[in-house]
Chains A and B, each alone.
Chain A
Amino acid sequence: MEDMTHVDRTMTTQQNIKISAKDVQVYYGNNHAIKDVNVEIEDKTVTAFIGPSGCGKSTFLRCINRMNDTIDVARVTGDIRIDGEDIYDPKVDPVQLRAKVGMVFQKPNPFPKSIYDNVAYGPKIHGLARNKTDLDEIVEKSLRKAALWNEAKDRLDSPGTGLSGGQQQRLCIARAIATAPEVLLMDEPCSALDPIATAQVEELIDELRQSFSVVIVTHSMQQAARVSQKTAFFHLGNLVEYDDTDKIFTNPQDPRTESYISGRIG
């Protein structure tokens, strides 16, 4: 892990592409929710999706781990690759894909199980631990990474639903990273949290960047500016602009981006 700590913010070159999407379209029945999206997301980077609500941020995010498969009316076309492999290839099992591409949701959704079992759930179903000691270790490591270990270590057997909102969301993050994903998708992970919990989660996201490629949807521009290196601005299903975060916020190219940043649309 030590060798990863000095990844440079500006060191973003072409060979680091983790996810690449080409001509992605998503339809919900007749509703064309994502139109012609092309984007390349880098490894070991936090990428933020911003845009007014209903513009398709979540929809696009859910394409990356094929969570849209669970919605009957949703239809995805185009080409999305992770490490060069087409994830919509018929040979790809979404179950395997989702182990690699973890997801954290808007509202904390811990399972009605103990804290320990919440975190151990993924490793158990994917068979990541050979024995109980292994599993204990994974649970501890994940909780530590999610900055929850100190608060939770004495109550691993109590239900996850008994934690506070911020703790629950960090538990969900611990749960997601316990399966050792390569990409972590987060859909407005702080929108249900108070400012203090938000700050904790944001701090956490910055640390997670060392191990994963993180994609975060947020409706807060300040948050995007704080945590991300790259930002994508969506509007009415189109990817309007995608660039370094600094650039998007200081010198947007598209007038729509500019109006959104300055608060005129949204």
Chain B
Amino acid sequence: MKSSLLVSDARTTKRNKAEARFKAFGLGAIAVAMLALVILLTSVIGNGASSFQQTYITLPVELSADRVDKKGNRDPVEMAKTTTIGYAPVLRDAIVAEVARLGLTTELSDKDLAEMISKEAAATVRDRVLGNPDLVGQTVTFDLLASGRIDGFFKGRVTMESAALDGNTSPDALMIAQAFADAGVMDTKFNWSFFTNPDASVQRPEAAGLGVAILGSLYMMLVVLFLALPIGVASSIYLEEFAPKNRITDVIEVNISNLAAVPSIVYGILGLAIFINFMEFNQSSPLVGGLVLTLMTLPTIIISTRAALKSVPPSIRDAALGVGASKMQSVFHHVLPLAAPGILTGTIIGLAQALGETAPLLLIGMVAFVREYPAAYTPEAGLFGEASTALPVQVFNWTQRSDPAFVERASGAIITLLVFLLIMNAVAIYLRRRFERRW
């Protein structure tokens, strides 16, 4: 009956196998989660990294007076009467001349050649001319956006095969583009305008940028910061330090933890019904977006602020009360400063959450196509009242367009958004480490 400990019996061996299997499942689960993260990030970065590069064509453009200044008096007001359509032939001639200069032969018509340049380019040239009428009559070298398809060619999105089936470009055009690139006329550069340009219409993905979206998101973050932080801290102080323990405060507590779990889209409905339909604030405005995000972020901030207040030991309060401070003074002079790093960390995390939130903004009209940079204040629209869009909504907007160039833009916008979030979280982690206190 006595069995030796030194030999493992069959049953134990079996049980140990089960043990190893179970452990492997655990490790496998973690591996799956990590793998998902890696695939997610590579997919987004793989699709979006190229949006930070953009193809430009360097062209000497002859700005002849009879095209851009028909009256010939260099009066900007008169010259503004020539629309971007009027500049199209100027560019067409420029690219045709360039093809000739490089000695390239092609089947392409002049019109097809002109389509290799972005439709945005005419506006670029026109703006420069109106800004400096002295340029008229000269031949000026411009760096102009290449069209989305040509840009796609250099990024591998457009190939000879796909171009053959594509009404917007052709293999011949790609060949010319290649020749331009070989001659140094066409080049990809870092795409600063991706961060500064406003959105562009469906036909010109190459010109679309995040300028308005970043500005709109910034405005909303300001609204959230200036509303959610004070309100959140004030209500946390009341609930944590002053509130009597009774039914009403119980209701508030349960209410806050439930608000934290209400689906974000419900806040969108609230914003639409209360702020837009009832209060008649402007649709699509960062003010309304900020208000909605404030209400959404408030529970997060309250929960983390209360945790920070709770972690300040009672002895500090007693010490302050002991030297004759009022309860209010002990809280504002002693407890609050000690809890500040925790509060700040929670606020930044709340802001990061708000920055990435999309669904409620769709409902308050922030999906609209906005090309004008919103002003922070105008007498008509009030504070943050001008129509705007926001980073995550811009992503959504671009996903709804059919040109694959917009998928690249959307992914690029996501990378930008993630970088912002990374910075915010890094600051939060830094604050937590830097000021972490052990009592």
Contacts and interface: CB of A to CB of B under 8 A. Distances in A.
User: In the complex, A touching B, CB below 8 Å?
Assistant: yes
A83 interface: yes
A82 B12 contact: no
A87 interface: yes
B11 interface: yes
Nearest to A97: B5
Interface stretch (A23-31, A88-96, A140-148, A190-198): A88-96
Nearest to A96: B12
Contacts of B2: 83
Contact of B8 (A82, A85, A96, A125): A96
Interface residues of A, number: 15
A100 B11 CA distance: 15
A87 B16 CA distance: 18
Contacts of B11: 126-127
A96 B11 CA distance: 10
A1 to B, nearest CB: 15
A100 B16 contact: no
Contacts of B7: 91
B15 A91 contact: no
Interface string B8-25: 110110011000000000
A83 B5 CA distance: 9
A126 B11 CA distance: 8
A96 B15 CA distance: 10
Interface string A93-108: 1011100100000000
B6 interface: yes
A44 to B, nearest CB: 15
A93 B16 contact: yes
B315 interface: no
B3 to A, nearest CB: 8
Contacts of B246: none
B73 interface: no
Interface string B258-279: 0000000000000000000000
Contact size range, B: 10 to 19
Nearest to B14: A127
Given A126-B11, A127-B11, A82 B5 contact: yes
B5 A95 contact: no
A93 B4 contact: no
A97 B4 CA distance: 10
A97 B6 CA distance: 10
Contact of A92 (B5, B9, B15, B16): B5
Nearest to B4: A85
Most buried by B among A82, A125, A127: A127
Interface string A114-147: 0000000000011100000000000000000000
B5 A85 contact: yes
Interface string B144-188: 000000000000000000000000000000000000000000000
B12 A95 contact: yes
A168 B11 CA distance: 30
A72 B137 CA distance: 82
Interface in B41-73: none
Contacts of A87: 5
A95 B4 contact: no
A92 B6 contact: yes
Contacts of B6: 85, 89, 91-92
A92 B8 CA distance: 7
Contact of A91 (B8, B9, B16): B8
Interface string B285-305: 000000000000000000000
Nearest to A126: B11
Contacts of A95: 12, 15-16
B15 to A, nearest CB: 7
Contacts of A126: 11
Contacts of B4: 85
B1 to A, nearest CB: 10
Nearest to A91: B6
**Which 5 A-B pairs have CB atoms at the shortest separation, nearest pair first?**
A85-B5, A92-B5, A91-B6, A96-B12, A127-B11
Given A85-B4, A96-B8, 7 more contacts: A82-B5, A87-B5, A89-B6, A91-B7, A92-B6, A93-B8, A126-B11
